A and B are shown apart, each in its own frame.
Chain A
Amino acid sequence: MRARVAGDTGGFSLRRFNMLVLGVVLGTALFWGSAYAGFLGFTSVEGAAFSALLLLALVVADVALGGFLARVQLHGRAASWRREEKGVGLFIGGSIFVGALISGLFLGAMIVLDTPPSHRSFFAFAAGPGLGLVYGMIYGMPALVGSTIMELRLRARRGDS
């Protein structure tokens, strides 16, 4: 019994931590991917159309990956663990939010370091963190929806409440 409790606790937190790292990496990749897609939109009307398509694909991939991460985390869980794993969608959406926020803070630091001290305005300081917050919300929401749908479907299949 003692070994089972210890195993449950360790396994649960490790999986949770892995999921957090995966979500943060995914949020970072989505942030820089949309920076690249926006960069393409500068070139021409065709570039802007391609950029819009790329952004749509990123959002669809975000929903699908959110669902996939929830499935990976909830798949094969024992009955005693399921009660602890409510809110998986919120956790995955939150970790993607954190990834985008970290990227925004990094971008903000680079913008400030790239600006001469005499030209550093409020916008130079606020741009990066603001973009990180906005992108965190924008990419967190579809992932939250995808993972919550997967969580609810798995629970409905198992007959949980």
Chain B
Amino acid sequence: MDFFASWDVLGISLVLSLRFLGPFALGVSLIAWAAFRPSRTGLRLSSLLGIALGLLMCIAPVVLFLVFDPFS
């Protein structure tokens, strides 16, 4: 199948990518902000909480995808 000739399939693949991409974008942004924002006090509890929440956001869609496996 020609990749760039099936535009509706491309649209569907973009919609399906959102289930991973949305949580990844939020999670990675949270991790980056919590870990790398300029702070005089270094890593505090709030930063660690932000990193943990970001990791959870990144892992959650993968776990949910494996639990509700659409290929089985």
Q: Give CA–CA (A87, B51) in the complex, Å.
A: 25
Contact A149–B65 (Cβ < 8 Å): no
Contact B58–A56 (Cβ < 8 Å): yes
Contact A138–B8 (Cβ < 8 Å): no
Q: Does A34 touch B at the CB level, under 8 Å?
A: yes
- A selection of 26 A-B contacts at a CB cut-off of 8 Å is A34-B14, A35-B13, A36-B3, A38-B14, A38-B17, A39-B10, A42-B13, A44-B71, A48-B65, A55-B20, A55-B24, A56-B28, A56-B58, A58-B21, A63-B29, A107-B7, A107-B11, A111-B8, A114-B7, A127-B11, A131-B11, A131-B14, A141-B29, A145-B29, A146-B32, A152-B37
Q: How many residues of B contact A (CB 8 A)?
A: 31
Contact B7–A111 (Cβ < 8 Å): yes
Binary flags per residue of A117-161, CB closer than 8 Å to B gives 1, else 0: 000000000011001001100110110011001001100100000
Contact B29–A39 (Cβ < 8 Å): no
Contact A59–B21 (Cβ < 8 Å): yes
Contact A59:B25 (CB < 8 A) given known A34-B17, A111-B11: yes
Closest A residue to B40 by beta carbon equals A156
Contact A149–B37 (Cβ < 8 Å): yes
Contact A41–B17 (Cβ < 8 Å): yes
Q: Does A95 touch B at the CB level, under 8 Å?
A: no
Q: Which of B11, B25, B62, B65 contacts A138 (CB 8 A)?
A: B25
- B residues near A, CB below 8 A? 3, 7-11, 13-18, 20-22, 24-26, 28-29, 32-33, 36-38, 58, 61-62, 65, 69, 71
Contact B17–A59 (Cβ < 8 Å): no
A51 to chain B, nearest CB (A): 7
Q: Which of A63, A107, A135 contacts B10 (CB 8 A)?
A: A107
Q: What residues of A have a CB within 8 angstroms of the CB of B29 in the complex?
A: 63, 141-142, 145
Give A20-51 interface residues, CB cut-off 8 Å to B.
Answer: 31, 34-39, 41-42, 44-45, 48, 51
Q: Give CA–CA (A23, B46) in the complex, Å.
A: 31
